[in-house]
Amino acid sequence: MRVAIQTMAATLGGTQSLHTNGFDEALSLPTEAAARIALRTQQIVGYESGVADTVDPLAGSFYVEALTNEVEAKAMQLMEKIDAMGGAVSAIEQGFIQTRLRAAPTGTSRKLNGAKK
Protein backbone atom coordinates (compact mmCIF):
# COMPACT_ATOMS: atom_id res chain seq x y z
CA MET A 1 0.00 0.00 0.00
CA ARG A 2 2.80 2.44 0.86
CA VAL A 3 4.46 1.88 -2.50
CA ALA A 4 1.17 2.35 -4.33
CA ILE A 5 0.45 5.61 -2.52
CA GLN A 6 4.04 6.81 -2.98
CA THR A 7 3.86 6.00 -6.68
CA MET A 8 0.52 7.72 -7.17
CA ALA A 9 1.64 10.82 -5.24
CA ALA A 10 4.87 11.06 -7.21
CA THR A 11 3.05 10.59 -10.51
CA LEU A 12 0.42 13.18 -9.66
CA GLY A 13 3.25 15.51 -8.66
CA GLY A 14 4.85 15.16 -12.08
CA THR A 15 7.92 13.12 -11.22
CA GLN A 16 10.33 12.34 -14.03
CA SER A 17 11.87 9.38 -12.24
CA LEU A 18 10.79 7.17 -9.37
CA HIS A 19 12.35 4.50 -7.18
CA THR A 20 10.23 2.71 -4.63
CA ASN A 21 11.76 0.51 -1.97
CA GLY A 22 10.94 -3.14 -1.51
CA PHE A 23 9.02 -4.06 1.64
CA ASP A 24 12.14 -5.57 3.19
CA GLU A 25 14.62 -2.87 2.20
CA ALA A 26 14.63 -1.23 5.63
CA LEU A 27 16.16 -4.41 7.04
CA SER A 28 18.65 -5.36 4.33
CA LEU A 29 19.19 -5.36 0.61
CA PRO A 30 15.83 -6.09 -0.98
CA THR A 31 15.06 -9.61 -2.01
CA GLU A 32 14.28 -10.22 -5.64
CA ALA A 33 10.62 -10.81 -4.78
CA ALA A 34 10.32 -7.54 -2.85
CA ALA A 35 11.98 -5.56 -5.63
CA ARG A 36 9.68 -7.17 -8.20
CA ILE A 37 6.57 -6.31 -6.18
CA ALA A 38 7.71 -2.67 -5.84
CA LEU A 39 8.36 -2.46 -9.58
CA ARG A 40 5.08 -4.13 -10.54
CA THR A 41 3.19 -1.80 -8.21
CA GLN A 42 4.70 1.19 -10.03
CA GLN A 43 3.78 -0.33 -13.36
CA ILE A 44 0.18 -0.99 -12.34
CA VAL A 45 -0.30 2.57 -11.07
CA GLY A 46 1.51 4.08 -14.05
CA TYR A 47 -0.01 2.07 -16.85
CA GLU A 48 -3.31 0.66 -15.66
CA SER A 49 -4.67 3.65 -13.75
CA GLY A 50 -4.15 6.04 -16.67
CA VAL A 51 -2.78 8.70 -14.32
CA ALA A 52 0.35 9.06 -16.46
CA ASP A 53 -1.71 9.73 -19.60
CA THR A 54 -2.17 13.38 -18.63
CA VAL A 55 0.69 15.86 -18.30
CA ASP A 56 -0.72 17.42 -15.13
CA PRO A 57 -3.66 15.39 -13.78
CA LEU A 58 -4.24 17.79 -10.89
CA ALA A 59 -4.19 20.95 -13.01
CA GLY A 60 -7.03 23.24 -12.12
CA SER A 61 -7.62 21.69 -8.72
CA PHE A 62 -8.54 24.60 -6.48
CA TYR A 63 -7.31 22.74 -3.40
CA VAL A 64 -3.93 21.89 -4.92
CA GLU A 65 -3.55 25.45 -6.21
CA ALA A 66 -4.37 26.84 -2.75
CA LEU A 67 -1.77 24.57 -1.15
CA THR A 68 0.78 25.57 -3.80
CA ASN A 69 0.10 29.25 -3.16
CA GLU A 70 0.49 28.71 0.59
CA VAL A 71 3.83 26.94 0.18
CA GLU A 72 5.02 29.64 -2.22
CA ALA A 73 4.05 32.46 0.17
CA LYS A 74 5.82 30.79 3.11
CA ALA A 75 8.92 30.16 1.00
CA MET A 76 9.00 33.80 -0.08
CA GLN A 77 8.70 34.96 3.54
CA LEU A 78 11.59 32.73 4.52
CA MET A 79 13.75 33.92 1.61
CA GLU A 80 12.99 37.55 2.47
CA LYS A 81 14.03 36.90 6.08
CA ILE A 82 17.29 35.29 4.92
CA ASP A 83 17.92 38.20 2.55
CA ALA A 84 17.35 40.63 5.43
CA MET A 85 19.97 38.73 7.42
CA GLY A 86 22.52 39.37 4.68
CA GLY A 87 22.02 36.24 2.59
CA ALA A 88 22.40 32.50 3.02
CA VAL A 89 26.01 32.52 4.20
CA SER A 90 25.22 35.09 6.88
CA ALA A 91 22.12 33.14 7.95
CA ILE A 92 24.24 30.00 8.32
CA GLU A 93 26.91 31.87 10.27
CA GLN A 94 24.21 33.19 12.61
CA GLY A 95 22.83 29.70 13.15
CA PHE A 96 19.44 30.55 11.64
CA ILE A 97 19.39 27.73 9.06
CA GLN A 98 20.55 25.11 11.58
CA THR A 99 17.91 26.22 14.09
CA ARG A 100 15.14 25.99 11.49
CA LEU A 101 16.30 22.54 10.37
CA ARG A 102 16.34 21.24 13.94
CA ALA A 103 12.90 22.70 14.71
CA ALA A 104 11.14 21.41 11.58
CA PRO A 105 10.67 17.74 12.60
CA THR A 106 9.49 18.72 16.09
CA GLY A 107 6.93 21.17 14.70
CA THR A 108 5.59 18.64 12.24
CA SER A 109 5.39 15.98 14.95
CA ARG A 110 3.43 18.33 17.21
CA LYS A 111 0.98 19.13 14.41
CA LEU A 112 0.47 15.46 13.65
CA ASN A 113 0.08 14.44 17.28
CA GLY A 114 -2.31 17.31 17.90
CA ALA A 115 -4.37 16.37 14.81
CA LYS A 116 -3.77 19.82 13.30
CA LYS A 117 -2.35 18.42 10.11
Full DSSP string of 44-61: IIIIIS-GGGSS-TTTT-
Domains in the chain, number: 2
Assessment of whether the complete model's pTM goes beyond 0.85: no
- Please tell me whether residues 49 and 73 are part of one structural domain: no
Same domain, 74 and 94: yes
- Domain stop point among 30, 53, 76: 53
Same domain? For 46 and 68 the reply is: no
Q: Within the chain, where are the H helices? A: 2-12, 32-43, 62-84, 88-93, 96-113
Domain final residue, candidates 10, 34, 53: 53
Query: Are 36 and 8 in the same domain?
Result: yes
Residue 108: per-residue pLDDT? 67
- Structural domain boundaries, residue 33: 2-53
Summarised one tens digit per residue, pLDDT across range 33-69 is 999 999 999 888 888 888 878 878 888 788 888 988 9
Same domain, 69 and 41: no
Task: Please give the average per-residue pLDDT across 111-115, as a whole number.
Answer: 69
pLDDT digits (tens, 9 = 90+) for 68-109: 899 999 999 999 999 999 999 999 999 999 999 888 877 666
* Same domain, yes or no: 67 and 92: yes
